[in-house]
Amino acid sequence: MSGLKGRDLLSMTDLSAEETLTLLQLAADLKQGKIKPICRKSLGLLFYKASTRTRVSFFAAMSQLGGQVIDLNTSSMQIGRGEPLADTARVLDRYLDVLAIRTFAHGDVETYANYAKMPIINALTDLEHPCQVLADLQTIQEYFGQLAGLKLAYLGDGNNMAHSLMLGCATVGIDIAIACPANFTPDATIVDRARSIAAINGTEVVVTQSPQEAVSNVHVVYTDVWASMGQEAEADTRLPVFQPYQVNRELLTLTDPDSIVLHCLPAHRGEEITEDVLEGTRSLVWDQAENRLHAQKSLLVSVLGAD
Only one of the segments 25-33, 159-167, 172-180, 234-242 lies at the binding site for ligand NVA (rule: CB under 6 A); that segment is 159-167
Which parts of 260-279 interact with ligand NVA (CB under 6 A)? 264
Q: Does 164 bind ligand NVA (CB under 6 A)?
A: no
Contacts of 197 (CB under 8 A, 6+ apart): 13, 167, 170, 171
Q: Does 100 bind ligand NVA (CB under 6 A)?
A: no
* Residue 102 annotated among the catalytic residues of the structure: yes
Q: What does 224 bind: ligand CP, ligand NVA, none (CB cut-off 5 to 8 Å by kind)?
A: ligand NVA
Only one of the segments 9-17, 39-47, 158-166, 204-212 lies at the binding site for ligand NVA (rule: CB under 6 A); that segment is 158-166
Q: Active site residue: 8, 53, 132, 180, which one?
A: 132
Positions in the binding site for ligand CP (CB under 6 A): 51-54, 124, 132, 264-265
Q: Does 180 bind ligand NVA (CB under 6 A)?
A: no
Q: What does 161 bind: ligand NVA, ligand CP, none (CB cut-off 5 to 8 Å by kind)?
A: ligand NVA
For ligand NVA, the binding residue among 228, 283, 296, 302 (CB under 6 A) is: 228
Q: What is the 3-state secondary structure (H, E, C) of the chain?
A: CHHHCCCCECCHHHCCHHHHHHHHHHHHHHHCCCCCCCCCCEEEEEECCCCCHHHHHHHHHHHHCCCEEEEECHHHCHHHHCCCHHHHHHHHCCCCCEEEEECCCHHHHHHHHHHCCCCEEECCCCCCCHHHHHHHHHHHHHHHCCCCCCEEEEECCCCHHHHHHHHHHHHHCCEEEEECCHHHCCCHHHHHHHHHHHHHHCCCEEEECCHHHHHCCCCEEEECCCCCCCCHHHHHHHHHHHHHHCECHHHHCCCCCCCEEEECCCCCECCCECHHHHCCCCECHHHHHHHHHHHHHHHHHHHHCCC
- Of 130 and 173, the one with the shorter C-beta distance to ligand CP is 130
* Residue 126 annotated among the catalytic residues of the structure: no
Q: Active site residue: 175, 224, 263, 294, which one?
A: 224
Going by C-alpha positions, the residue among 62, 173, 78 that lies closest to residue 123 is 62
* Residue 93 annotated among the catalytic residues of the structure: no
Number of residues that bind ligand NVA (CB under 6 A): 9
In the complex, the smallest distance separating the C-beta of residue 256 from ligand NVA, rounded to whole angstroms, is 25
In the complex, the smallest distance separating the C-beta of residue 53 from ligand NVA, rounded to whole angstroms, is 7
- Of 125 and 255, the one with the shorter C-beta distance to ligand CP is 125
Nearest position to ligand CP, beta carbon:
54
Binding site for ligand NVA (CB under 6 A): 124, 159-161, 224-225, 228-229, 264
- Which sequence positions are flagged as catalytic? 102, 129, 132, 224, 264, 292
